[in-house]
Protein backbone atom coordinates (compact mmCIF):
# COMPACT_ATOMS: atom_id res chain seq x y z
CA UNK A 1 0.00 0.00 0.00
CA UNK A 2 1.25 3.44 -0.94
CA UNK A 3 2.04 5.65 2.04
CA UNK A 4 1.56 9.39 2.30
CA UNK A 5 -2.02 9.51 1.09
CA UNK A 6 -5.21 9.99 3.08
CA UNK A 7 -7.74 7.17 2.77
CA UNK A 8 -11.46 7.58 3.48
CA UNK A 9 -12.38 6.83 7.09
CA UNK A 10 -13.41 3.17 7.49
CA UNK A 11 -17.13 3.75 8.16
CA UNK A 12 -17.46 5.81 4.97
CA UNK A 13 -15.47 3.32 2.92
CA UNK A 14 -17.77 0.57 4.18
CA UNK A 15 -20.82 2.62 3.29
CA UNK A 16 -19.55 3.29 -0.25
CA UNK A 17 -18.92 -0.43 -0.66
CA UNK A 18 -22.21 -1.51 0.86
CA UNK A 19 -24.16 0.94 -1.30
CA UNK A 20 -22.45 -0.26 -4.46
CA UNK A 21 -20.44 2.82 -5.35
CA UNK A 22 -17.20 0.94 -4.88
CA UNK A 23 -17.27 -2.44 -6.54
CA UNK A 24 -13.84 -3.71 -5.58
CA UNK A 25 -12.56 -3.90 -9.16
CA UNK A 26 -9.12 -2.88 -10.38
CA UNK A 27 -9.14 0.09 -12.75
CA UNK A 28 -7.53 -1.81 -15.63
CA UNK A 29 -10.39 -4.34 -15.40
CA UNK A 30 -12.55 -2.10 -17.57
CA UNK A 31 -10.35 -2.89 -20.56
CA UNK A 32 -10.11 -6.56 -19.68
CA UNK A 33 -13.88 -6.92 -19.36
CA UNK A 34 -14.60 -5.13 -22.64
CA UNK A 35 -11.96 -7.25 -24.39
CA UNK A 36 -13.67 -10.38 -23.10
CA UNK A 37 -17.11 -9.14 -24.11
CA UNK A 38 -16.32 -7.92 -27.62
CA UNK A 39 -12.75 -8.73 -28.59
CA UNK A 40 -13.15 -7.85 -32.26
CA UNK A 41 -14.73 -4.43 -31.91
CA UNK A 42 -12.54 -1.39 -32.51
CA UNK A 43 -11.25 0.06 -29.25
CA UNK A 44 -8.80 2.69 -30.44
CA UNK A 45 -8.08 4.70 -33.58
CA UNK A 46 -5.27 7.21 -33.94
CA UNK A 47 -5.08 10.31 -36.10
CA UNK A 48 -3.31 8.43 -38.90
CA UNK A 49 -6.08 5.84 -39.01
CA UNK A 50 -4.22 3.02 -37.26
CA UNK A 51 -6.78 0.83 -35.45
CA UNK A 52 -6.68 -1.62 -32.58
CA UNK A 53 -9.44 -4.02 -31.57
CA UNK A 54 -10.19 -4.62 -27.90
CA UNK A 55 -8.32 -7.93 -28.04
CA UNK A 56 -5.29 -6.25 -29.61
CA UNK A 57 -5.23 -3.36 -27.14
CA UNK A 58 -5.67 -5.74 -24.21
CA UNK A 59 -2.82 -7.94 -25.42
CA UNK A 60 -0.54 -4.97 -26.05
CA UNK A 61 -1.15 -3.80 -22.48
CA UNK A 62 -0.43 -7.29 -21.14
CA UNK A 63 2.78 -7.58 -23.14
CA UNK A 64 3.99 -4.17 -22.09
CA UNK A 65 3.09 -4.92 -18.45
CA UNK A 66 5.27 -8.04 -18.64
CA UNK A 67 8.06 -5.97 -20.22
CA UNK A 68 7.77 -3.34 -17.49
CA UNK A 69 8.05 -6.00 -14.82
CA UNK A 70 11.14 -7.33 -16.52
CA UNK A 71 12.61 -3.82 -16.29
CA UNK A 72 11.86 -3.89 -12.58
CA UNK A 73 8.90 -1.50 -12.80
CA UNK A 74 5.91 -2.53 -10.66
CA UNK A 75 5.05 -2.92 -7.00
CA UNK A 76 3.73 0.58 -6.35
CA UNK A 77 6.50 2.36 -8.31
CA UNK A 78 5.49 5.78 -9.46
CA UNK A 79 6.05 6.55 -13.14
CA UNK A 80 5.71 10.10 -14.41
CA UNK A 81 3.84 9.91 -17.71
CA UNK A 82 4.06 12.81 -20.15
CA UNK A 83 2.73 11.58 -23.46
CA UNK A 84 0.60 13.32 -26.09
CA UNK A 85 -2.66 11.92 -27.48
CA UNK A 86 -1.25 8.75 -29.00
CA UNK A 87 -1.82 5.01 -28.64
CA UNK A 88 1.40 4.92 -26.60
CA UNK A 89 -0.39 6.74 -23.79
CA UNK A 90 -3.30 4.33 -23.74
CA UNK A 91 -1.18 1.20 -23.83
CA UNK A 92 1.30 2.46 -21.24
CA UNK A 93 -1.49 3.61 -18.91
CA UNK A 94 -3.03 0.13 -18.74
CA UNK A 95 0.37 -1.60 -18.75
CA UNK A 96 1.50 0.39 -15.71
CA UNK A 97 -1.71 -0.44 -13.84
CA UNK A 98 -1.28 -4.11 -14.69
CA UNK A 99 2.36 -4.15 -13.65
CA UNK A 100 1.26 -2.71 -10.31
CA UNK A 101 2.88 0.68 -10.92
CA UNK A 102 1.19 4.04 -10.42
CA UNK A 103 1.00 6.43 -13.40
CA UNK A 104 1.60 10.06 -12.42
CA UNK A 105 -0.11 12.04 -15.16
CA UNK A 106 1.38 15.30 -16.42
CA UNK A 107 0.49 17.46 -19.41
CA UNK A 108 2.64 17.62 -22.56
CA UNK A 109 3.05 21.37 -21.92
CA UNK A 110 4.77 20.87 -18.57
CA UNK A 111 8.45 21.68 -18.41
CA UNK A 112 11.38 21.14 -16.08
CA UNK A 113 10.01 23.19 -13.22
CA UNK A 114 6.77 21.20 -13.00
CA UNK A 115 8.20 17.78 -13.92
CA UNK A 116 11.07 17.96 -11.42
CA UNK A 117 8.69 18.90 -8.64
CA UNK A 118 6.18 16.21 -9.54
CA UNK A 119 8.84 13.50 -9.86
CA UNK A 120 10.38 14.48 -6.53
CA UNK A 121 7.06 14.60 -4.70
CA UNK A 122 5.93 11.31 -6.16
CA UNK A 123 9.31 9.68 -5.50
CA UNK A 124 9.08 8.48 -9.09
CA UNK A 125 11.51 5.91 -10.49
CA UNK A 126 10.70 6.33 -14.18
CA UNK A 127 9.61 8.96 -16.68
CA UNK A 128 7.76 8.27 -19.95
CA UNK A 129 7.97 10.79 -22.81
CA UNK A 130 7.67 11.28 -26.55
CA UNK A 131 10.96 11.97 -28.34
CA UNK A 132 9.83 15.25 -29.86
CA UNK A 133 6.50 16.96 -29.40
CA UNK A 134 5.43 20.48 -30.36
CA UNK A 135 9.00 21.36 -31.38
CA UNK A 136 10.28 20.35 -27.97
CA UNK A 137 12.79 17.58 -27.32
CA UNK A 138 11.57 15.78 -24.22
CA UNK A 139 14.79 13.77 -24.03
CA UNK A 140 16.62 16.99 -23.11
CA UNK A 141 14.14 17.48 -20.29
CA UNK A 142 14.66 13.84 -19.25
CA UNK A 143 18.42 14.40 -18.97
CA UNK A 144 17.87 17.46 -16.78
CA UNK A 145 15.35 15.53 -14.69
CA UNK A 146 17.76 12.67 -14.06
CA UNK A 147 20.36 15.13 -12.80
CA UNK A 148 17.88 16.90 -10.54
CA UNK A 149 16.01 13.82 -9.29
CA UNK A 150 18.38 10.86 -8.95
CA UNK A 151 15.57 8.42 -8.03
CA UNK A 152 14.52 8.50 -11.72
CA UNK A 153 16.23 5.32 -12.88
CA UNK A 154 14.61 4.86 -16.26
CA UNK A 155 13.36 6.97 -19.10
CA UNK A 156 10.89 5.37 -21.50
CA UNK A 157 10.55 7.00 -24.89
CA UNK A 158 7.85 6.80 -27.57
CA UNK A 159 9.92 7.16 -30.74
CA UNK A 160 13.68 7.63 -31.00
CA UNK A 161 14.94 6.71 -27.54
CA UNK A 162 18.56 7.98 -27.89
CA UNK A 163 20.37 6.61 -24.79
CA UNK A 164 17.07 5.68 -23.09
CA UNK A 165 14.62 2.76 -23.41
CA UNK A 166 12.20 2.68 -26.34
CA UNK A 167 8.60 2.01 -25.29
CA UNK A 168 8.31 -0.16 -28.41
CA UNK A 169 10.97 -2.49 -26.95
CA UNK A 170 9.10 -2.98 -23.69
CA UNK A 171 7.41 -6.14 -24.79
CA UNK A 172 7.45 -9.63 -23.38
CA UNK A 173 5.26 -12.72 -23.33
CA UNK A 174 2.42 -12.15 -20.90
CA UNK A 175 3.06 -13.24 -17.33
CA UNK A 176 0.70 -13.61 -14.36
CA UNK A 177 0.16 -10.12 -13.05
CA UNK A 178 -0.34 -8.88 -9.50
CA UNK A 179 -3.90 -8.15 -8.40
CA UNK A 180 -4.11 -4.74 -6.72
CA UNK A 181 -6.10 -3.95 -3.61
CA UNK A 182 -9.00 -1.91 -5.08
CA UNK A 183 -8.82 0.41 -2.09
CA UNK A 184 -5.27 1.39 -3.03
CA UNK A 185 -4.11 4.31 -5.15
CA UNK A 186 -4.29 3.54 -8.87
CA UNK A 187 -3.20 6.84 -10.34
CA UNK A 188 -1.86 10.22 -9.27
CA UNK A 189 -3.39 13.23 -11.05
CA UNK A 190 -2.00 16.73 -11.07
CA UNK A 191 -3.94 19.49 -9.35
CA UNK A 192 -4.49 22.89 -10.97
CA UNK A 193 -2.83 24.28 -7.89
CA UNK A 194 -3.26 27.28 -5.66
CA UNK A 195 0.03 27.05 -3.79
CA UNK A 196 3.71 27.52 -4.56
CA UNK A 197 4.03 24.02 -5.99
CA UNK A 198 1.63 21.72 -7.88
CA UNK A 199 -0.07 19.05 -5.77
CA UNK A 200 -0.71 15.40 -6.51
CA UNK A 201 -4.17 13.87 -6.27
CA UNK A 202 -4.39 10.20 -5.31
CA UNK A 203 -7.25 8.35 -7.01
CA UNK A 204 -7.96 4.77 -5.99
CA UNK A 205 -9.10 1.86 -8.17
CA UNK A 206 -12.47 1.93 -6.42
CA UNK A 207 -13.06 5.66 -6.61
CA UNK A 208 -11.80 6.23 -10.13
CA UNK A 209 -13.65 3.22 -11.53
CA UNK A 210 -16.83 4.59 -9.99
CA UNK A 211 -16.04 8.06 -11.39
CA UNK A 212 -15.78 6.51 -14.87
CA UNK A 213 -18.80 4.19 -14.58
CA UNK A 214 -21.21 6.78 -13.17
CA UNK A 215 -20.03 9.37 -15.74
CA UNK A 216 -20.54 6.93 -18.61
CA UNK A 217 -24.08 6.25 -17.36
CA UNK A 218 -25.02 9.92 -17.04
CA UNK A 219 -23.63 10.65 -20.51
CA UNK A 220 -25.35 7.65 -22.08
CA UNK A 221 -22.13 6.07 -23.36
CA UNK A 222 -22.59 2.64 -24.91
CA UNK A 223 -20.94 0.40 -27.49
CA UNK A 224 -21.98 2.76 -30.27
CA UNK A 225 -20.16 5.69 -28.70
CA UNK A 226 -17.26 7.03 -30.73
CA UNK A 227 -15.39 9.45 -28.46
CA UNK A 228 -12.86 11.95 -29.75
CA UNK A 229 -10.04 12.79 -27.33
CA UNK A 230 -9.39 16.46 -27.98
CA UNK A 231 -8.02 17.65 -24.63
CA UNK A 232 -4.81 16.03 -23.39
CA UNK A 233 -5.38 12.36 -22.52
CA UNK A 234 -3.78 13.05 -19.15
CA UNK A 235 -6.50 15.54 -18.22
CA UNK A 236 -9.16 14.13 -15.90
CA UNK A 237 -11.94 15.42 -18.16
CA UNK A 238 -10.73 13.63 -21.31
CA UNK A 239 -9.50 10.60 -19.40
CA UNK A 240 -12.34 9.71 -17.10
CA UNK A 241 -15.39 12.00 -17.31
CA UNK A 242 -16.39 9.72 -19.05
CA UNK A 243 -13.57 10.29 -21.52
CA UNK A 244 -11.45 7.58 -22.99
CA UNK A 245 -11.81 5.27 -20.00
CA UNK A 246 -15.61 5.61 -20.00
CA UNK A 247 -15.70 4.82 -23.71
CA UNK A 248 -13.56 1.71 -23.28
CA UNK A 249 -15.70 0.60 -20.34
CA UNK A 250 -18.83 0.95 -22.49
CA UNK A 251 -17.27 -0.94 -25.37
CA UNK A 252 -17.19 2.06 -27.72
CA UNK A 253 -14.39 3.44 -29.86
CA UNK A 254 -11.79 6.01 -28.77
CA UNK A 255 -10.39 8.30 -31.47
CA UNK A 256 -7.27 10.35 -30.70
CA UNK A 257 -6.95 13.90 -32.01
CA UNK A 258 -3.41 15.32 -31.89
CA UNK A 259 -4.72 18.87 -31.33
CA UNK A 260 -8.07 20.60 -30.71
CA UNK A 261 -7.84 22.59 -33.95
CA UNK A 262 -10.96 22.45 -36.15
CA UNK A 263 -8.78 21.12 -39.00
CA UNK A 264 -7.73 18.07 -36.98
CA UNK A 265 -10.86 17.55 -34.90
CA UNK A 266 -13.50 18.15 -37.59
CA UNK A 267 -11.67 15.90 -40.04
CA UNK A 268 -11.64 13.10 -37.47
CA UNK A 269 -15.29 13.64 -36.53
CA UNK A 270 -16.22 13.21 -40.17
CA UNK A 271 -13.84 10.31 -40.89
CA UNK A 272 -14.66 8.26 -37.78
CA UNK A 273 -18.28 9.36 -37.31
CA UNK A 274 -17.51 10.64 -33.83
CA UNK A 275 -20.53 10.85 -31.52
CA UNK A 276 -19.13 12.61 -28.43
CA UNK A 277 -16.26 14.78 -27.31
CA UNK A 278 -15.16 17.13 -24.53
CA UNK A 279 -13.60 20.58 -24.85
CA UNK A 280 -12.85 23.73 -22.84
CA UNK A 281 -14.83 26.93 -23.61
CA UNK A 282 -12.21 28.63 -25.86
CA UNK A 283 -12.23 25.55 -28.11
CA UNK A 284 -16.03 25.49 -28.13
CA UNK A 285 -16.01 29.15 -29.22
CA UNK A 286 -13.47 28.41 -31.94
CA UNK A 287 -15.52 25.47 -33.22
CA UNK A 288 -18.70 27.55 -33.22
CA UNK A 289 -16.96 29.95 -35.59
CA UNK A 290 -15.12 27.32 -37.59
CA UNK A 291 -18.32 25.62 -38.81
CA UNK A 292 -18.67 28.71 -41.01
CA UNK A 293 -15.53 27.91 -43.01
CA UNK A 294 -14.54 24.29 -42.32
CA UNK A 295 -16.39 22.01 -44.66
CA UNK A 296 -16.77 18.88 -42.61
CA UNK A 297 -19.73 16.64 -41.98
CA UNK A 298 -20.39 16.84 -38.25
CA UNK A 299 -23.81 15.18 -38.31
CA UNK A 300 -22.60 12.17 -36.31
CA UNK A 301 -21.76 14.38 -33.32
CA UNK A 302 -24.49 13.94 -30.71
CA UNK A 303 -22.85 15.31 -27.55
CA UNK A 304 -20.45 18.16 -26.88
CA UNK A 305 -19.25 18.37 -23.28
CA UNK A 306 -17.86 21.75 -22.27
CA UNK A 307 -16.07 22.41 -18.99
CA UNK A 308 -12.85 23.45 -17.32
CA UNK A 309 -13.90 27.07 -17.10
CA UNK A 310 -17.23 28.82 -17.32
CA UNK A 311 -19.10 28.76 -20.61
CA UNK A 312 -21.23 31.87 -21.10
CA UNK A 313 -24.99 31.39 -21.55
CA UNK A 314 -24.87 33.10 -24.96
CA UNK A 315 -22.32 30.79 -26.64
CA UNK A 316 -23.95 27.88 -24.80
CA UNK A 317 -27.21 28.60 -26.60
CA UNK A 318 -25.39 28.58 -29.96
CA UNK A 319 -23.97 25.07 -29.61
CA UNK A 320 -27.00 23.08 -30.61
CA UNK A 321 -27.99 25.16 -33.66
CA UNK A 322 -24.41 25.52 -34.94
CA UNK A 323 -23.03 22.05 -34.28
CA UNK A 324 -26.26 20.10 -34.33
CA UNK A 325 -25.56 18.32 -31.06
CA UNK A 326 -26.58 18.34 -27.43
CA UNK A 327 -24.53 20.54 -25.11
CA UNK A 328 -23.52 19.27 -21.71
CA UNK A 329 -21.86 21.63 -19.25
CA UNK A 330 -19.37 19.97 -16.95
CA UNK A 331 -18.02 21.58 -13.81
CA UNK A 332 -15.42 19.13 -12.64
CA UNK A 333 -12.11 18.88 -10.89
CA UNK A 334 -9.28 16.38 -10.85
CA UNK A 335 -9.80 16.29 -7.06
CA UNK A 336 -13.09 14.51 -7.64
CA UNK A 337 -16.54 16.12 -7.65
CA UNK A 338 -18.16 16.25 -11.07
CA UNK A 339 -21.25 18.22 -11.97
CA UNK A 340 -23.02 17.52 -15.23
CA UNK A 341 -26.07 19.02 -16.83
CA UNK A 342 -28.24 16.05 -17.72
CA UNK A 343 -28.99 15.12 -21.32
CA UNK A 344 -32.73 15.70 -20.77
CA UNK A 345 -32.40 18.95 -18.82
CA UNK A 346 -34.40 21.89 -20.24
CA UNK A 347 -32.39 24.47 -22.23
CA UNK A 348 -32.36 27.05 -19.45
CA UNK A 349 -30.50 24.64 -17.16
CA UNK A 350 -28.19 23.31 -19.89
CA UNK A 351 -27.23 26.80 -21.03
CA UNK A 352 -27.37 28.65 -17.75
CA UNK A 353 -25.87 26.29 -15.17
CA UNK A 354 -22.76 24.20 -14.70
CA UNK A 355 -24.70 21.05 -13.89
CA UNK A 356 -25.49 19.11 -10.74
CA UNK A 357 -23.46 16.54 -8.83
CA UNK A 358 -22.90 13.19 -10.50
CA UNK A 359 -23.54 10.96 -7.51
CA UNK A 360 -26.36 10.68 -4.98
CA UNK A 361 -23.53 10.19 -2.47
CA UNK A 362 -21.86 13.53 -3.28
CA UNK A 363 -22.20 15.79 -0.25
CA UNK A 364 -21.99 19.49 -0.96
CA UNK A 365 -22.11 22.58 1.22
CA UNK A 366 -22.01 26.25 0.26
CA UNK A 367 -20.42 28.30 3.02
CA UNK A 368 -19.40 31.85 3.95
CA UNK A 369 -15.93 32.93 5.06
CA UNK A 370 -16.53 31.46 8.52
CA UNK A 371 -17.56 28.07 7.13
CA UNK A 372 -21.23 28.69 7.96
CA UNK A 373 -23.82 27.46 5.46
CA UNK A 374 -25.24 30.35 3.44
CA UNK A 375 -29.02 30.61 3.00
CA UNK A 376 -30.35 28.50 0.10
CA UNK A 377 -29.72 30.14 -3.28
CA UNK A 378 -27.00 32.48 -2.05
CA UNK A 379 -23.44 32.44 -3.25
CA UNK A 380 -20.59 31.01 -1.21
CA UNK A 381 -17.64 28.65 -1.34
CA UNK A 382 -18.37 25.09 -2.43
CA UNK A 383 -17.20 22.34 -0.08
CA UNK A 384 -17.58 18.71 -1.00
CA UNK A 385 -16.90 15.13 -0.01
CA UNK A 386 -18.03 11.88 -1.50
CA UNK A 387 -17.14 8.49 -2.96
CA UNK A 388 -14.76 9.86 -5.60
CA UNK A 389 -13.44 13.06 -4.00
CA UNK A 390 -9.98 12.94 -2.43
CA UNK A 391 -9.50 13.25 1.31
CA UNK A 392 -6.02 14.73 1.06
CA UNK A 393 -3.30 15.55 -1.45
CA UNK A 394 -0.37 13.17 -1.66
CA UNK A 395 2.43 13.92 0.82
CA UNK A 396 1.05 17.35 1.67
CA UNK A 397 0.01 17.16 5.33
CA UNK A 398 0.48 20.83 6.03
CA UNK A 399 -1.47 21.99 2.98
CA UNK A 400 -4.17 19.41 3.67
CA UNK A 401 -4.90 20.96 7.04
CA UNK A 402 -6.04 24.08 5.16
CA UNK A 403 -7.51 22.52 2.01
CA UNK A 404 -9.96 20.28 3.94
CA UNK A 405 -12.36 20.83 6.80
CA UNK A 406 -11.92 18.79 9.97
CA UNK A 407 -14.72 16.49 8.80
CA UNK A 408 -13.11 15.84 5.45
CA UNK A 409 -14.80 18.26 3.06
CA UNK A 410 -12.55 19.48 0.24
CA UNK A 411 -12.51 23.26 -0.09
CA UNK A 412 -12.93 23.71 -3.84
CA UNK A 413 -12.18 27.45 -3.82
CA UNK A 414 -15.09 27.88 -6.22
CA UNK A 415 -17.89 30.32 -5.48
CA UNK A 416 -21.25 28.87 -6.46
CA UNK A 417 -24.94 29.14 -5.83
CA UNK A 418 -27.40 26.26 -5.91
CA UNK A 419 -30.70 26.47 -7.75
CA UNK A 420 -33.83 24.73 -6.40
CA UNK A 421 -33.27 22.03 -9.06
CA UNK A 422 -29.92 21.23 -7.44
CA UNK A 423 -27.96 22.70 -10.35
CA UNK A 424 -24.91 24.79 -9.57
CA UNK A 425 -24.01 28.13 -11.06
CA UNK A 426 -20.31 28.99 -10.80
CA UNK A 427 -20.11 32.64 -9.74
CA UNK A 428 -16.41 33.12 -9.25
CA UNK A 429 -13.46 31.94 -7.28
CA UNK A 430 -12.10 32.29 -3.78
CA UNK A 431 -8.77 30.66 -4.64
CA UNK A 432 -5.65 32.47 -5.80
CA UNK A 433 -5.59 30.88 -9.23
CA UNK A 434 -5.99 32.06 -12.82
CA UNK A 435 -8.25 29.96 -15.05
CA UNK A 436 -6.88 30.70 -18.50
CA UNK A 437 -9.45 29.03 -20.71
CA UNK A 438 -9.37 25.88 -18.58
CA UNK A 439 -5.61 25.92 -17.96
CA UNK A 440 -5.07 26.53 -14.28
CA UNK A 441 -2.25 28.76 -13.06
CA UNK A 442 -1.38 29.09 -9.40
CA UNK A 443 -0.70 32.79 -8.75
CA UNK A 444 1.68 31.95 -5.91
CA UNK A 445 3.69 29.49 -7.98
CA UNK A 446 4.11 32.01 -10.80
CA UNK A 447 4.88 34.87 -8.42
CA UNK A 448 7.66 32.80 -6.83
CA UNK A 449 9.27 32.29 -10.23
CA UNK A 450 8.92 35.97 -11.13
CA UNK A 451 10.39 37.08 -7.80
CA UNK A 452 13.63 35.33 -8.77
CA UNK A 453 14.16 37.95 -11.50
CA UNK A 454 16.77 40.51 -10.41
CA UNK A 455 14.68 43.41 -11.76
CA UNK A 456 11.67 42.50 -9.63
CA UNK A 457 11.15 43.71 -6.10
CA UNK A 458 7.64 42.31 -5.69
CA UNK A 459 5.05 40.66 -7.95
CA UNK A 460 1.32 39.97 -7.90
CA UNK A 461 -0.39 37.78 -10.50
CA UNK A 462 -4.06 38.43 -11.24
CA UNK A 463 -6.57 37.41 -13.88
CA UNK A 464 -7.75 39.91 -16.48
CA UNK A 465 -11.03 39.45 -18.35
CA UNK A 466 -10.79 38.07 -21.88
CA UNK A 467 -13.61 37.40 -24.31
CA UNK A 468 -12.21 34.11 -25.62
CA UNK A 469 -10.22 32.68 -22.74
CA UNK A 470 -12.47 33.88 -19.90
CA UNK A 471 -9.37 35.36 -18.39
CA UNK A 472 -5.71 35.82 -19.12
CA UNK A 473 -2.75 36.36 -16.85
CA UNK A 474 -1.53 39.80 -15.79
CA UNK A 475 1.40 40.40 -13.49
CA UNK A 476 1.85 43.61 -11.54
CA UNK A 477 5.51 44.29 -10.80
CA UNK A 478 7.14 46.56 -8.29
CA UNK A 479 10.50 47.05 -9.99
CA UNK A 480 13.96 46.84 -8.51
CA UNK A 481 15.90 49.04 -10.92
CA UNK A 482 15.07 48.03 -14.48
CA UNK A 483 11.94 45.85 -14.48
CA UNK A 484 11.64 43.22 -17.23
CA UNK A 485 9.10 43.71 -20.01
CA UNK A 486 6.71 40.96 -21.07
CA UNK A 487 9.06 39.33 -23.56
CA UNK A 488 12.07 39.41 -21.26
CA UNK A 489 9.99 37.96 -18.45
CA UNK A 490 8.66 35.21 -20.73
CA UNK A 491 12.21 34.29 -21.76
CA UNK A 492 13.32 34.29 -18.11
CA UNK A 493 10.44 32.03 -17.05
CA UNK A 494 10.96 29.69 -20.00
CA UNK A 495 14.63 29.40 -19.05
CA UNK A 496 13.51 28.41 -15.55
CA UNK A 497 11.46 25.59 -17.04
CA UNK A 498 7.98 27.02 -16.53
CA UNK A 499 5.22 25.63 -18.79
CA UNK A 500 4.27 27.91 -21.68
CA UNK A 501 0.62 28.33 -20.69
CA UNK A 502 1.75 29.96 -17.43
CA UNK A 503 3.64 32.82 -19.09
CA UNK A 504 2.02 36.19 -18.26
CA UNK A 505 0.00 37.77 -21.07
CA UNK A 506 0.66 41.23 -19.74
CA UNK A 507 3.10 43.01 -17.43
CA UNK A 508 2.11 46.15 -15.55
CA UNK A 509 4.51 48.26 -13.52
CA UNK A 510 3.26 49.73 -10.24
CA UNK A 511 5.07 51.71 -7.56
CA UNK A 512 3.40 50.04 -4.61
CA UNK A 513 0.61 47.49 -4.24
CA UNK A 514 -2.78 48.42 -2.87
CA UNK A 515 -3.15 46.67 0.51
CA UNK A 516 -6.08 45.23 2.41
CA UNK A 517 -6.80 46.36 5.96
CA UNK A 518 -4.63 43.53 7.27
CA UNK A 519 -1.77 44.51 4.97
CA UNK A 520 -2.09 41.77 2.33
CA UNK A 521 -1.75 42.64 -1.35
CA UNK A 522 -5.25 43.62 -2.44
CA UNK A 523 -5.61 41.42 -5.52
CA UNK A 524 -9.24 42.34 -5.98
CA UNK A 525 -8.20 45.98 -6.34
CA UNK A 526 -5.50 44.97 -8.84
CA UNK A 527 -8.05 42.92 -10.76
CA UNK A 528 -10.36 45.95 -10.94
CA UNK A 529 -7.44 48.14 -12.01
CA UNK A 530 -6.47 45.96 -14.96
CA UNK A 531 -10.10 45.44 -15.97
CA UNK A 532 -10.53 49.24 -15.97
CA UNK A 533 -7.35 49.74 -18.06
CA UNK A 534 -8.62 47.20 -20.57
CA UNK A 535 -11.97 48.99 -20.78
CA UNK A 536 -10.40 52.39 -21.43
CA UNK A 537 -8.07 50.89 -24.03
CA UNK A 538 -11.24 49.58 -25.67
CA distances from 291 to 268, 329, 379 (A): 14, 20, 37
Q: Using CB under 6 A, which of the segments 52-60, 216-224, 306-314, 505-513 binds ligand J2J?
A: 306-314
User: Please, what is the minimum distance in Å from the beta carbon of residue 72 to ligand J2J?
Assistant: 32
Assess 187 for contact with ligand J2J (CB under 6 A).
Answer: no
The backbone region for 522, taken as left when phi is positive above 0, alpha when psi lies in -120 to 50, beta otherwise, is beta
Q: In 164-239, where do the E strands start and end?
A: 165-166, 185-190, 200-204, 226-229
Give dist(CA 305, CA 343) in Å, integer.
Answer: 10
Between the CA of residue 107 and those of 83, 115, 234, 313, what are the distances in Å? 7, 9, 6, 29
Distance CA(227)–CA(225), nearest Å, equals 6
Residue in the shown chain whose Cβ atom is closest to ligand J2J:
332
Q: Is 408 near ligand J2J (CB under 6 A)?
A: no
Query: What is the 8-class DSSP label of residue 515?
Result: B
**According to CB under 6 A, which one of 197, 310, 395, 453 is a site residue for ligand J2J?**
310
Segment interacting with ligand J2J (CB under 6 A) among 136-144, 254-262, 265-273, 303-311: 303-311
Which residues in the 311-350 window bind ligand J2J by CB under 6 A?
329-334, 338
Decide: is 380 part of the binding site for ligand J2J (CB under 6 A).
no
**CA-to-CA separations, 18 to 11, 24, 174, 388, in angstroms, rounded:** 10, 11, 35, 15
Nearer to ligand J2J, 265 or 311 (CB): 311
CA atoms within 13 A on the CB side of 356: 16
Residue pair 503/516 in contact by the 8 Å Cβ criterion:
no
- Least distance from ligand J2J to the Cβ atom of residue 191, Å: 6
Nearer to ligand J2J, 379 or 486 (CB): 379
Q: How far is the CB of 383 from ligand J2J (least distance, A)?
A: 12
Return the range that interacts with ligand J2J (CB under 6 A); candidates 79-87, 150-158, 307-315, 441-449: 307-315
Q: How far is the CB of 207 from ligand J2J (least distance, A)?
A: 13
For residue 412, state whether it binds ligand J2J (rule: CB under 6 A).
yes
SS3 of 318-381: the string is HHHHHHCCEEEEEEEECCEEEEECCCCCCHHHHHHCCCEECCCCCEEEEECCCCCECCCCCCEE
* 233 binding ligand J2J? (CB under 6 A): no
- Interface residue with ligand J2J among 194, 225, 309, 389 (CB under 6 A) is 309
Site string for ligand J2J, 415-444 (x = CB under 6 A): -----------x--x-----x--x-x----
DSSP-derived 3-state class of residue 415: strand
Note the residues at the interface with ligand J2J (CB under 6 A): 192, 236-237, 241, 307-310, 329-334, 338, 354, 412, 414, 426, 429, 435, 438, 440
Amino acid sequence: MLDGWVPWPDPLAEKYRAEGYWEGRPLDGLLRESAERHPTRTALVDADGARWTYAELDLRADRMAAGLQRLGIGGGDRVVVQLPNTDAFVVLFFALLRAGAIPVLTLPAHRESEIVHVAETAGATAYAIPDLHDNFDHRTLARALRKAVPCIEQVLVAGDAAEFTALADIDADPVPLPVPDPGDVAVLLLSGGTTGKPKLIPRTHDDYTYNVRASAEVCGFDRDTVYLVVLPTAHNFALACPGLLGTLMAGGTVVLSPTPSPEDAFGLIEREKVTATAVVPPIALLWLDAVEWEEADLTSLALLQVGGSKLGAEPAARVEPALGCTLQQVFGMAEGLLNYTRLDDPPELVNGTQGRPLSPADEIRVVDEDDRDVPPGESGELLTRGPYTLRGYYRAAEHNSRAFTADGYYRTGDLVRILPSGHLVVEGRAKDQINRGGDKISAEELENHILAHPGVHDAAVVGMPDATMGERTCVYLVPRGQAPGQRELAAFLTERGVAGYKLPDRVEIIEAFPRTSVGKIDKKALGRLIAESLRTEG
